[in-house]
Structure 1
Amino acid sequence: MAFTLSQLEALEQAIASGELSVKYDGKEVTYRSMDDLTKAYNMVRGSLLATGQLTESSRTNRGPSSLAYFTRD
Structure 2
Amino acid sequence: MAFTQQDLIAVERAIASGTLTVEYNGKKVTFRQMNELLAARDTIKADLAAQNPSGRPRSSIAIVERF
Q: What is the TM-score of this pair, normalised by structure 1?
A: 0.70
> Which runs of 5 or more residues in structure 1 are unaligned?
59-73
Q: Which runs of 5 or more residues in structure 2 are unaligned? A: 58-67
1:11-70, Cα deviation, whole Å (9 max, x unpaired): 0000000000000111100001000000000000111011118x4x75xxxxxxxxxxxx
1:4 matched residue in structure 2: 4
Rounded to whole Å, the distance in 1 between the matches of 2:29 and 2:4 is: 15
Which structure features the higher share of helix residues? 2
TM superposition outliers: structure 1 runs of 4+ over 2 Å: none
Identity %: 45
TM-score (norm 2): 0.76
